[in-house]
Structure 1
Amino acid sequence: MGSVVLVHGWGGAFSTTWQRSGFTALLSDGGKHVIGVDLLGHGEAPKPHDPEAYADLTERVFDAIDAESPDEPVEAVGFSLGALTLLHAAIARPERFSRIVLAGIGQNVLERDHAGATRIVEGLERVIDAEDADTAPDLDEMDQIARLFVQYAQQPGNDIRALAAVMRRPSAGDFEPDDLGTVTCPVLVVVGDRDFVHPGDELASRFPDGRCETLKNVDHFATPEAFGFFDATLEFLDAI
């Protein structure tokens, strides 16, 4: 029975992203041992408010897979920030991964939208300032993507100050094309055609064994719950 590590996106958690949708049950039914990870600042993990604490998000991923699968490489599925974290992990220790699904990332890996990230941070800070002043934040002046991220951050159980610190982390930089080429295991990029990171074809082409699955009529936050994502990922991991 192979092991699969699941890594959620920014503002999510193992329980809300993977368990609530039934995806973990589908993997288990397909004979997979699921390794769940809550990234620092999310879910049941500690939630520091210092951006420097988030310099290496891969630590919790490696802690989990080294504890539960110390002798064998694992398959891995990541969404958004989780996919970016898995990329960092696979570049650092490619021998630990046998197959990787990267969902909710695409052109943003190759062409980072630093201005967009700044607008999201400014939106989060506006909400934090409103909380401190005990007033309602004004989201009307934000662009659509920043507003969506801010609303996602306000889900029950989230610490918006921790999530803002994650966005301001010092290691949120670009990937070099040559770095991507060191990830030699099979890689599947899954992205919705309504996702702001679409398309994913060029990213997939940077891997020696990469392919892309484009989901029709699916936006960013809907990706990990889309039936097309389930089907493509389960088939790729041979869990059907």
Structure 2
Amino acid sequence: MANFPIETHRFASFDGVELAWHEMGDPEGRPVVLIHGYFSTAEVNWIKYGHAEKLAAKGFRVILPDLRGHGQSDRPHDPAAYPPDVLMRDGFALLEHLGLSDYDLGGYSLGGRTTLRMLVNGATPRRAVLAGMGLAGLTDTRGRGTYFRRVLTNLGSFERGSSEWLTEAFLKTTKGDPEALLLILQTFVDTPEAEIAAIQVPTLVVTGGEDFDNGSAQEVADLLPDGRFVEIPGNHMSAVTRPELGDAIVEFLAG
């Protein structure tokens, strides 16, 4: 990443919780905000595997927040810091802090769901990207929440190689805070299909061919008035490491 230095900044969100964001590329370029997934960080999702650098190389101003409870952002342990839709509200707080009105917006997994929550609550990016997120993960958030709650409340008990063990191993690599991450689960809000179908923003839906963690991504693209579906190699954990993810996002946003 030597070609594009990364600057890290902090700001106070709507309720005073301090959040971090990382920036790469041309400060005068077209802004694109990319939101990482649950348990992850901006560094792991977007920087480590070169996706952000590909966008920077195309002249974008790449803005990569760390979600509340994740990465270099604050990780409060007070349940009151995790009201419903707080991640969506943090997203709007960042847009306001940066004064962004003409921008692109996207995310992977929980970042994709957060992007969608912003869209149905009035965000108007030029284009949007929903990656690693299927219809069930948008309309019925409890399903995945139950899985993660089981992992976070039974750490150290899973059979080596199991899905839960792999999830816990990922938590260790990102130095996640189990208490803060448990509280994040109470912030999830379901989105009815009718609200998804009302989104007018041109949207790329991109997911791994073996990623069924959140239901069908094709069904999301089919619901959207201006949705297009791209399948890349991999499952939910591996697709984010693939160069095809960054390539698909660049082609859509720079096309």
Length-normalised TM-score, structure 2:
0.80
- Corresponding residue number in structure 1 for 2:39: 11
Counterpart check, 1:22 vs 2:50: yes
Q: How does 1:24-43 map to 2 (within 5 A)?
A: 24-43=52-71
Q: How does 1:86-105 map to 2 (within 5 A)?
A: 86-95=115-124, 97-105=125-133
Q: Which moved more, 1:143-152 or 1:5-14?
A: 143-152
Q: Which amino acid aligns with 1:94?
A: A
Q: How does 1:101-112 map to 2 (within 5 A)?
A: 101-109=129-137, 112=140
- Corresponding residue number in structure 1 for 2:228: 211
Mark the CA change 1:107 to 1:34 in structure 2 (over 3 Å): closer, same or farther: same
Q: How many Å separate the matches in 2 of 1:81 and 1:38?
A: 12
* Aligned pair partner of 1:82 in 85, 103, 111: 111
Deviation of the 1:151 alpha carbon = 2.4
- Corresponding residue number in structure 2 for 1:140: 159
- Corresponding residue number in structure 2 for 1:119: 147
- Corresponding residue number in structure 2 for 1:188: 204
Q: How many Å separate the matches in 2 of 1:124 and 1:115?
A: 15
SS, match of residue 78 in structure 1: strand
Length-normalised TM-score, structure 1:
0.84
Q: Which amino acid aligns with 2:191?
A: F
Counterpart check, 1:157 vs 2:185: no
Q: Is the 8 A contact 1:109 1:175 kept in 2?
A: no
Deviations 1:53-110 (A, max 9, x none): 222112222222222243x331012000011011111111232x11111111013235
Mark the CA change 1:98 to 1:120 in structure 2 (over 3 Å): closer, same or farther: same
Deviations 1:155-177 (A, max 9, x none): 2432121112212x1x4232111
Q: How many Å separate the matches in 2 of 1:94 and 1:234?
A: 21
Q: Percent identity?
A: 28
Q: Is the 8 A contact 2:41 2:174 kept in 1?
A: no
Q: How many Å separate the matches in 1 of 2:136 and 2:80?
A: 23
SS, match of residue 34 in structure 1: strand
SS, match of residue 94 in structure 1: coil
Q: How many Å separate the matches in 2 of 1:198 and 1:144?
A: 20
Q: CA RMSD in A?
A: 2.2
Q: Is the 8 A contact 1:40 1:46 kept in 2?
A: yes
Q: How many Å separate the matches in 2 of 1:11 and 1:65?
A: 23
Q: Note the residue ranges of structure 1 that are not aligned, 5 or more in a row.
A: 128-136
Deviation of the 1:150 alpha carbon = 2.5
Q: Which amino acid aligns with 2:46?
A: W
Q: Which amino acid aligns with 2:176?
A: N
Q: Is the 8 A contact 2:51 2:245 kept in 1?
A: no
